[in-house]
Amino acid sequence: MPSYRIYILDSDTGHRAPGEWLDAADDDEATRLAHELAGKARCEVWLKTKLVAIVARGDQQS
């Protein structure tokens, strides 16, 4: 199972907070879990050097 890195972005400055590790089966699951972890904050989901997703405030997951 791949390990992804989730970085929550500061809403005022846009700077990244220290990342959190997240194990997920694939990019879709990692993005879904990032929505749950970040709440309404904006965050980036990375797999090694690949930017998988940017989860923006107000995004909806179905």
Q: How confident is the model at residue 17 (pLDDT cuts 50, 70, 90)?
A: confident
Environment class of 45 (CB within 10 Å of its CB; exposed 0-12, middle 13-18, buried 19+): buried
What type of residue sits at position 53? A
pLDDT exceeds 90 at position 61: no
Give pLDDT tens digits for 18-53.
889 999 999 999 999 998 888 878 999 999 999 999
Please tell me which residue, 24 or 12, carries the higher pLDDT value: 24
For tokens 């904050």, name the residue.
41
Please tell me which residue, 53 or 58, carries the higher pLDDT value: 53
Give the pLDDT confidence score for residue 57 in this predicted structure. 66
Question: Are the beta carbons of 26 and 40 closer than 8 angstroms?
Answer: no
Q: What span, in angstroms and rounded, lies between the C-alpha atoms of 7 and 18?
A: 6
Query: What is the chain's length?
Result: 62
